[in-house]
């Protein structure tokens, strides 16, 4: 599933709107529209790969460097105490395009185990403000 058939490929191509926080030749990172906590980012490889095992070996390191960079930006940009970084492969994977969840965490935030309650942004302006905070914390 490539191109416009894949939601994340469409976002990476700019054909589908999203609150983008990182966009380069390797990956695109954007706010999850149904965040666990506000500032929850999805990092996807620019080239379509359904699962981690489908990602070409030479692409794994550069992709996870982007995940690491976004995790640091989420912490810094949102003054979060830490992050929860997770990935599903096929099971519980709502979009069949590899994606890594980077969720801001703080002590006593209510997240327990793998139960992920979802939130909503009040509006696009609030979502845009979270994306900007994270973007501004990216290096370079």
Cβ atoms of 130 and 103 closer than 8 Å: no
Burial of 31 (0-12, 13-18, 19+ CB in 10 A): buried
> 88 Cβ partners below 8 Å, 6+ apart?
none
Q: Which of 40, 48, 97, 99 is catalytic?
A: 99
Establish whether 99 is a catalytic residue.
Answer: yes
**Dist. CA 112–CA 109, nearest whole Å:** 9
- The residues carrying an active-site annotation are 99
């Amino acid at each position: 599933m490539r191109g416009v058939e894949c939601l994340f490929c469409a976002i990476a191509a700019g054909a589908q709107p999203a609150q983008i926080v990182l966009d380069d030749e390797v990956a695109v990172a954007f706010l999850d529209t149904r965040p666990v906590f506000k500032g929850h980012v999805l990092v996807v490889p620019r080239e379509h790969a359904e699962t981690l095992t489908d990602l070409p070996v030479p692409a794994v390191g550069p992709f996870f460097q982007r995940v690491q960079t976004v995790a640091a930006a989420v912490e810094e940009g949102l003054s979060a105490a830490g992050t929860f970084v997770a990935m599903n492969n096929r099971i519980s994977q709502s979009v069949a395009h590899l994606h890594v969840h980077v969720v801001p965490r703080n002590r006593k935030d209510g997240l327990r185990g793998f139960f992920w309650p979802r939130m909503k942004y009040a509006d696009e302006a609030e979502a845009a403000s979270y994306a900007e905070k994270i973007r501004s914390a990216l290096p370079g």
